[in-house]
Amino acid sequence: MKKSTKRILIVALVILILLLFLVLINYNTKIISYIIRNSEHSYTKALCNENNYCKDYEIKCLGKKSISLTPTTFAVQQDENWKDFRNEDEICRD
């Protein structure tokens, strides 16, 4: 083979490998994104009465959907100005 033909084949092979690599990265990113969106995770949230006596709850989520609410063994009397900084919209987020 001529040197120029070898060079063209090598460049074509390198380009093909790079394209294949980029396609695989994109495919893996989609798979990982799907797994994360549909994974089970949990958070805790303090639910308080009008006197700010708060009980902590574990909230289990599947994706963005809440699937269970379980009280933990933790409860505390908070100051009257205290608020849980985690709002409802943040509980079952991705």
* DSSP collapsed to 3 states, 29-89: HHHHHHHHHCCEEEEEEEEECCCCEEEEEEEEEECCEEEEEEEEEEEEECCCCCCCCCCHH
> 41-58 pLDDT, tens per residue?
788 888 888 888 888 888
Strand order in the sheet with 40-48: 40-48, 53-62, 65-77
Distance CA 79, CA 13 (A): 68
> 24-83 pLDDT, tens per residue?
777 767 776 676 666 777 888 888 888 888 888 888 888 777 788 899 888 888 887 877
Annotated domain spans of the chain: 1-37, 40-90
Which pLDDT band holds residue 13 (cuts at 50, 70, 90)? very high
Residue 37: the pLDDT is: 66
